[in-house]
Every structure is written in structure tokens, then in C-alpha cells.
Amino acid sequence: MPEIVDPNGFLPRYYQLANILRERITRGELAAHQPIPSERQLETIYSVSRTTIRQAIDLLVRQGFLYREHGRGTFVSPQKLQKGIWELTSFTEDMRRRSITPGQKILEIGEVKPPPEVRSHLELPADCERVLCVERLRLGDGVPMGLQTSYYLLPEGQTITREELEATGSIYILLQEKFHLIPTEADETLEVCLATPREANLLQIKAGSPLLLSERTTYSQARRVMEFVKILYRGDRYRYSAKLTR
Amino acid sequence: MPEIVDPNGFLPRYYQLANILRERITRGELAAHQPIPSERQLETIYSVSRTTIRQAIDLLVRQGFLYREHGRGTFVSPQKLQKGIWELTSFTEDMRRRSITPGQKILEIGEVKPPPEVRSHLELPADCERVLCVERLRLGDGVPMGLQTSYYLLPEGQTITREELEATGSIYILLQEKFHLIPTEADETLEVCLATPREANLLQIKAGSPLLLSERTTYSQARRVMEFVKILYRGDRYRYSAKLTR
DNA sequence: CAGTGGTCTAGACCACCGG
DNA sequence: CGGTGGTCTAGACCACTGT
């Protein structure tokens, strides 16, 4: 007795179907390397066309939950491949996925004159003199994990206050509620660097300890730059993971 | 006078079409943020159905060459987004993309008893006592970039010799030609570490310098593990980049 | 409003895998 | 051989964008 894909639902059918299947996988109802029903079977089970079935499966394959073998079938990926999927996440979501309790301490929040590096990443016009800068210490299970500095170009006369950020805890929620900005895509680079005395002090490590530096430019719906973020992660407490395809 | 999508071609039509469009973009024929023809126009231009057009565009969007805006059109991504795309590549390909001439020095090649870490990543049976281990110094424009150690489980009695590897330069080519193993997917983790005296000596840096450690498990067509690789990159010469989506 | 991309259908043929 | 996924068609309607 399968769940039903609602043709009048808010979400597209392929998306509903992907959610149903993902749910069954994460609940362990479908075990690793076990085949799911064939596309023609799913057609009759859920009363949607094969194209829609394939769209749902495509999504789950990209998300790492399923893999296909031509001529054999579609199978459930082993559990470990379902973690560390390469998706755009906030620090908070990232920590929650790792089963770590996220926290933060706001160090600075206010308007600043953008340094050239920020000006370039945010694609600022030459006459733009003020951007919002937020510097936060990011905590995992109460211990410093990283030092985050982010920059935003907000509509004229608008801003975000420390009180608002403390109340919601998430800048993404504020950006969505106040300015309808939703992150959809980002470019990220990762490199290694060494902690300056100030950074070391904030992160509670020794000066000169190795850090992982992430720089990210985030784009909103209409592909406008909405954010430039630098995060210095403690090298001893952070590891990146990703799934690569060909 | 567009190129023609050959229905009898070796490659599927959506793939041929994607290649044609990608070519036009990288040649600069279509500039950044400029719209490409609409899907209905492309239908008549290339005489393929809209589904096939969309499949080609989907591919280029995932590869970072195009972006869509609902109700407006499909546009060419700015150049910087076309680099550092998150794909499974060999060290050699990776370097070539960065316009760096790759090189290598084979330090060790031979059968070893697998350490527990390798045993786990390669999913080796308990009675497996020998795997192929290859240690290479990887060069970029002649200068040490990284130290790579890779492990392979080969068919009984088969192996790869130093001479073969020196002749082709690429272990992936050998694995394909000798054993029909083609990499299709991988899981990768990145973290920071410090160079041991031996590593520092090989990489021509000071002991204790920061390194970027990449660990990768690579899967072949039938989703069998085919390789486990560790690469220690010089922190001062290497940077990772990726495109994230939601 | 017309034009765009987003979703969906019902069918077809091909290439690959296993018994 | 039958069953699987891979590709492809010709159409349809919806949701969104601009003017």
C-alpha cells in the first residue's frame, strides 16, 4: 500500500516521489545494494509516467541515495555514501548533519568599507562604500570550531541588527524574511593556512596551528551575488567530505 | 548554419548537442550572462525534441556552463564558474585544467600487506594479504605539488609493473586496458595536517609545514571499489574549488 | 499578453544483462 | 529470450517573466 503521489499537491510529482523513496531508504526499509522496483513497475505502483519516475530517480542518484546499473536495475547506495553529500548548507545545518550541536558568538556586526577582495567577490559597483560585515565565532558542542566573517550588500537604508541575529540565530532566515533572498548556488574554495595570534586566541589553539580556510560566494534565486563568506576552521576539528562523479 | 546533431552518431543526441553548445561557450561565441536560444528555438535549429534539448541543457547546467531563470531564459555562466567544477578527475587532468604541466616520480611500486585503514576502505576480505601499492611524487611545472599513495586490489596473479606505469604515465589507462576498470564515482574527504620530516623532504618544504590531505575511495562501473588514494598536497601550492547547489 | 522554462504524458526503439 | 535502464518523440498544460 504505497503512499500516493498527489497530482494537486504543492510539490511536483517527481519531487513527492523522490521524498517517498528517500524516506523508505533512510528508514532502512530498502537495504543497501537491494534493488528498488523497476521503472515500469513504479509507473503502475504510483500511477505516474516513466519520465516522471526517472526524474525522481535522477534526483536521488545525484543526492547519493541510489545508483543504477544498465540492464540490471536501480539499487540502494550503502549508508556511508549518503553522508557528506556535496550540497550548499549553512554552518548550522552542516553541524546538525554531523550530529554536533551548533552555537555562535557574535563578535562584530555593522557596516564597513569593503576591502578590495570583498568588493570583487560581491561584484560591487565602484561607488559602493558600505557593506554589512558580520564576524562570528562558530561553536560545535560548545567548543570553537571556526571563525566566520561574512559580507552582504543590502538594499539602501536597510540593515540587520545584532538583536535580530541573536533572536533568530540564522542570517539566512533573516535574509529570506526581510529581503526574500534565498541561497541557491555557491562557489567555494578550500585551502590551508596558519592561525594568526588573534585567530588562535579566539579559536583556543596555539598560534601557527594549521587551519582550513573556506571562501564562499553565495548566489540567490536570480543568480545575484548575495553573500561572501570566509570561514577559518580548526584543522584538528574539521574535515570536508564530498561525492565526485564523472 | 549550426552544426548538425547526427542521429546515427556514436554519441547520444543530447550529448552531441551539449558538446556543440559547450564548444560555442568556451570559444567565447556566447558571452557571459547572454541568453542562448530558447528551448523551442533550439528544437527547430537542431531538429531534436524539446526533451532532448532539456537533457543537454541540464548537463551543461550541472557542469556550470549555463544557468536558467524561470520565465526569462537560459544564460551563459560567467567564466569563473566554469572552473573548478566538482568532477572526478585524475591528478593529471586536474593539473591540465589549471594550465599546469603535470609530472611524476615513482617512489615505490609493489605488493604490500594492506594496513587496516586500507583494508577497510578497499572493503577487502579478511584473507586478503597482498594489495598493489604505488607511491608517487606528483609534480606541477616540475615542482613538487603532492605526495600520492594509492592502493589497488587486482585479480589473482595479475599486477602492474614500474615499466608499464612509466611507459603510460597513467594508472587509470593501465587499469582500463588490462582490467577494464573505469572510474565512475568517488568519495573524498579533505583535512589539514602537518608534514613529517620525510614528507617535507620529498615535497621540498620545511617539516611541520601545513598540508592538505585528500583521501579518496574510487568506484568502478559496477560500483566495486577499485582504488584508495591518499594525496598530501603542499598547502602553499594547492587550492580546492567546488560548485555547490541546493 | 506572448514567450520563457518547469512538469508531465503515452508511447517507441535501443543497448545491456541475465538465464 | 524477457526484463532492465538509456534515449527520444510530439504533444500538452502550468508558472513565471516581461511589456
Q: Is residue A72 part of a domain?
A: yes
Nearest residue to nucleotide D14, by CA–C1' distance, is A12
For residue B73, give the H/E element and its range: strand B73-76
Domain check: are A103 and A33 in the same one?
no
- Tens of pLDDT, residue by residue over A7-58, are 666 889 999 999 999 999 988 899 889 999 999 999 999 999 999 999 999 9
More confident position, A87 or B2:
A87
- CATH code for the domain in which residue A220 is found: 3.40.1410.10
End residue of a domain, out of A82, A114, A138: A82
In a domain, B7, yes or no: no
The confidence score (pLDDT) of residue B64 equals 82
Please tell me whether residues A73 and A107 are part of one structural domain: no
* Domain match, B150 and B184 both: yes
Following CA atoms A19, A25, A27, A33 in sequence, which dihedral angle do they give, to the nearest 10 degrees?
A: 180
Of A188, A193, A212, the CB nearest to B244: A188
CA A195 to chain CA centroid, nearest Å = 25
Mean pLDDT in consecutive groups of 10 residues from the start of chain B, 246 residues:
61 93 90 94 95 95 88 86 58 81 93 92 85 95 95 85 90 84 82 95 95 91 85 91 68
Q: How confident is the model at residue B47, as a pLDDT?
A: 94
Are A149 and A188 contained in the same domain? Answer: yes
Last residue of a domain, one of A82, A104, A129: A82
Question: What pLDDT was estimated at residue A46?
Answer: 94
Cβ–Cβ under 8 Å, residues A232 and A211: yes
Statement to judge: residues A114 and A206 lie in one domain? yes
Which residue range is the domain that position A106 belongs to?
91-234
**Same domain assignment for residues B73 and B132:** no
Pick from A188, A235, A243: CB nearest B192: A235
Q: With contacts defined as CB-CB under 8 Å, which chain B residues touch A121?
A: none
pLDDT for the residue B9: 66
- B114 and B38, same structural domain? no
Does the CB of A194 have a partner CB in chain B at under 8 Å? Answer: yes
Cβ separation B235–A67 shorter than 8 A: no
Q: How confident is the model at residue B245, as a pLDDT?
A: 66
What is the rounded average pLDDT of the residues A181-204? 90
Domain match, B62 and B159 both: no
More confident: A169 or A203: A203
Q: Can you say whether residue A231 is alpha, beta or left, with left for phi > 0 and alpha for psi between -120 and 50 degrees?
A: beta
Residue B169 and residue B73 in one domain: no
Residues B129 and B166 in one domain: yes
**Residue A56 sits in a domain of what CATH number?**
1.10.10.10
Share of chain A above pLDDT 70, in %: 91
Q: Residue B175: inside a domain, yes or no?
A: yes
pLDDT on residue B85: 47
DSSP A69-130: ETTTEEEEPPGGGGSS------HHHHHHHTT--EEEEEEEEEEEPPPHHHHHHTT--TT---
Residue A239 resides in a domain: no
pLDDT-derived band at A5, boundaries 50, 70, 90: low
pTM of the model: 0.80
What domain count does chain A have?
A: 2
Q: In this structure, are A102 and A72 located in the same domain? A: no
What pLDDT is recorded for position A107?
96
Q: A107-129 pLDDT, tens per residue?
A: 999 999 999 999 988 888 878 88
Domain C-terminal end among A82, A115, A131: A82
B70 and B95 share one domain: no
